[in-house]
Chain A
Amino acid sequence: MNGQELVSRMKRLGEVHSIKDVGPLSRAMFPGPHCPLMGAMMAVRGIKDSVMLVVGTDECTYYTKNTTIGNKAFGGLDGRCLSVVLDQHDVTFGCKEKLYDAFQEMMEEYNPRAVFVVTTCVVEVIGDDVDSMVEELKNQYGIYAMAVHTEHFKTENHLPGVRDTITACFDMMTPRPDTGAVNIIGQRMGDFTTTELYRMLVGAGVPMGMMLPSGTTVEEIEKAAGARVNVVVNPIGLPLAEKMKSAFGTPYVLFDKYIDPDRIYGLYQSLFTYLKLPVPAEVEDLYRKAKEIVETAAGQLEGLTYIYGNTPIDCYEFNAFMVGLGMVPLLIQTNEVPEAEDPNLRAILERCNPYITKTANIAPLQYVYDVLKPNLYLGHEFAMRLRQKGIEMVHSDGISPMLGLEVPVAGVTELLRAGAAARALREGRESA
């Protein structure tokens, strides 16, 4: 594979206006992105007394169940991930009969409070009206039943599956009096109760409401409209937050996994304003410490080049932050392109114009390393393999369960470690 040719085919960030303008590094991908069905599975996992009923081929249902078996939140092998397996007959004549039979069996054996009927690619291609079927089943059995569509050919990755599953939870909500609580919407990974944001809220005496999908119950979802404010910790939670704002007047704050201390501090201020409480003194301390570490880092990270793969932090905010520290992105892998006015996009383009390509295609990337020769790689890769090419990997998985000013502290600390290691690696090579 010719790395130079791969690089020459890539567009620059400044040349693209939407993700449709961004080509994959190669047509033949491995492993490729996850699908929305997996995203739906990740979301249902966090809703304790609900059942996931996957409607699809043997293969889609097999892999979904297989993935949930090792997961305690799903209940393991006997857990609440069930399926309706479609065959040639169902594809020809529709899945209604089989879905209704399966639903009856499920009600007899599991008696769930809520069911997510998750359809896969083939159901969408044959055009079965599963929404109507689910509506009928919901009325027939008097339970919450929601259809979630997860066809992968319409999406870039698994996140729409998480988004649509949590948005479907709106159907379980009814108006409630203000409880002064906060709901946490959109946390995909980790436990919210281990985050700094949680500590600050609980420390200020704020009651916690629904935490969707990181860990909640049908009852908490039913009562979610009583919250004073919704904290959306990932953009996948925005459609639900918008619906709640429109239906119940619940305001929301988008408090994603950001790395810029000023931005995070500003979000704390907005959040506590909605809560009608002063910003906790501890937040002020954390803000000062985060600012200090960022200021120290600027001189040490200046000039380091990198390829951005995939991290838990907001892609463009993180890149704009690193560019602000004097780092140089050579290539950004992403599945989204923000609007031209996006301040982070503008901040990156003011100083540089990196290549852009889609994520999750590490096979051809190996050849790109030899051409671009970055100091760092941010994302999932094989650290030893990268080191052999003189590249240090920035580990970011540890940030996944974090929210708040702990993110810049951990993120910058890791950048400093990796930066020092990359320089040592380069010097070692040169001296050898």
Chain B
Amino acid sequence: MSLCRYLPTPSDRMAVMWSLLTVGDAVVLEYGPAGTTHYSMGLFGAMGISPNQALFTTHMSEDDVVMGDVTRLEEAILELDRNYAPKVIFVIASAITSVIGTDLKGVCHYMQEKVKARLVAMENGGFKGDYTVGLREVQRMLVQELSGCGEGPSANTYNVLGASAGAYRIHSDLWELQDLMSRAFGFSCGAVPGVKASVDQLVAMGGARLNLVLRAEGLEAARWLKEQYGTPYVYGTPYGYGGTEKWLKAVGEALGASVAPEVTSQLQEKKKEAMTFRMYASMYRNKPHPPAAAIVGNYDTVVGLAGLCRELDITPDLLICAHTLKDIEEPAEGVVHFEREKDKIDALRRLRSHLVMADDVSLHLCDETNVGVCVSFPLVSHTQIANHLPLMGIRGTDFLLETVDRYYQNLD
């Protein structure tokens, strides 16, 4: 990729930041130039994250860069520990400290005896890869460094792994999952590292009965928890009525429990109602523009929404993963990632009469013959306020079907 016209793919460091800022009773300390911290406020705001009293920077002078002096980092650690008494201080690298090779882990190691807070260094300066690398590392770090059995196995709780504040409508999706898990199995949510979890909740993660892994980035953490505490996990996302049914079934199998009949019958009813959309699909099959969809987003969002389209007999013929696929184990057929931004722009500009489920930038690039709905970050033309408008589960499918209906009304 050479010229970037729109927003570049966020880096590992950015994901580390937006994930750790959601950990309650902890603070994030950046060792780097202050301007980056100030500049990041807009993005965190769009994700619904408040960095007030949670994010700090040391700033760096030319002397620090040239001489490798870490005094101001040491002083900042002592100061945060004394003044804010956090349970954990996450010390984060910057691009500069990565390039000059500052040993943050070493600093945290020798500073640990001088402070009450637990010091955890994250040396992601933005060069290890895109945001999925950061999410993967931060999820793994949070469970490895902080999880424990807590106060013993806690009955009927589950954790959610792989969730990220950088996923559009994640709070709504979690709300929907909680409702489904509660109604289907009587389970309640424990920790959701990366979106909402206090240090105490993270410590108690090992006691949960099940881990739900929404995205591939949570798999390593789930495997570690399984190895450590024997906690089973289910990897997948409930998109579509059929998809939700399958997902609940997999969860039930992992728990050795059956889905509550009330939820099963609700899903049966919903699937019956959605038959109308399959009928529309067959009506348009031989018309100039047979029903087709394009999806842009995180890998699991793309795969999940492609499944929803197939449920409705809409052909998902352009599936763009927003991040590299190199860490995805056996990527699904048809999912592509464009290294060059130009190729992605061209692919989106070529679309005609598609149902487009994507981010704001991608939607902006599609012409008016298409009908779109925002399902992923980045947001540029609207904001997310509601926490009750999911894309996943039963309510999520209800909502997305409204766009599908609009799509058919627009289709020749």
Indicate if the CB atoms of B29 and A28 lie closer than 8 Å: yes
Q: Which of A24, A32, A364 contacts B35 (CB 8 A)?
A: A32
Q: Which of A30, A60, A98, A102 contacts B56 (CB 8 A)?
A: A30
Within 8 Å CB of A32, what residues of B?
34-35, 37-38, 57, 59
Interface residues of A in 117-176 (CB under 8 A from B): 121-122, 125-126, 151-154, 158
Interface residues of B in 106-150 (CB under 8 A from A): 126-128, 130
- Distance (Å) between the CB of B4 and the closest chain A CB? 5
What size tier do the contact residues of chain A reach? 35 or more
- Distance (Å) between the CB of A248 and the closest chain B CB? 34
Interface residues of B in 6-31 (CB under 8 A from A): 6-11, 13-14, 29
Binds A, one of B75-83, B173-181, B216-224, B285-293: B75-83
Q: Count A-B contacts at CB 8 Å.
A: 183
CA distance A371 to B23 in the complex (A): 32
Interface string of B374-410 (1 = CB under 8 A from A): 0000101100000000000000000000000000000
- Distance (Å) between the CB of A341 and the closest chain B CB? 27
Q: A122-B99, A125-B96 are in contact. Are A27 and B58 (CB under 8 A)?
A: yes
- Distance (Å) between the CB of A196 and the closest chain B CB? 32
Within 8 Å CB of B58, what residues of A?
27-29
CA distance A35 to B29 in the complex (A): 18
Indicate if the CB atoms of B76 and A28 lie closer than 8 Å: yes
Q: Which of A29, A33, A77 contacts B380 (CB 8 A)?
A: A77
What size tier do the contact residues of chain B reach? 35 or more
Q: Does A345 contact B (CB under 8 A)?
A: no
Binds B, one of A79-87, A219-227, A387-395, A409-417: A79-87
Interface residues of B in 47-61 (CB under 8 A from A): 51-53, 55-61
Q: Which of A24, A37, A109, A122 contacts B95 (CB 8 A)?
A: A122
Indicate if the CB atoms of B35 and A29 lie closer than 8 Å: no
- Distance (Å) between the CB of B363 and the closest chain A CB? 11
Q: Which of A1, A58, A125 contacts B65 (CB 8 A)?
A: A125
Which residue of A has the minimal Cβ distance to B5? A82
Interface residues of A in 6-31 (CB under 8 A from B): 24, 26-31
Indicate if the CB atoms of A1 and B56 lie closer than 8 Å: no
Q: Does A373 contact B (CB under 8 A)?
A: no
Q: Please name 24 pairs of A and B residues whose Cβ atoms are closer than 8 Å in the assembled complex, sorted by A.
A: A1-B83, A26-B79, A28-B57, A28-B58, A31-B38, A31-B57, A36-B35, A37-B39, A57-B11, A59-B11, A59-B36, A66-B7, A66-B380, A67-B39, A77-B381, A78-B364, A82-B3, A82-B5, A84-B2, A88-B127, A102-B3, A121-B96, A152-B34, A152-B60
Lowest 3 CB-CB distances: which A-B pairs, in order? A35-B35, A32-B34, A152-B33
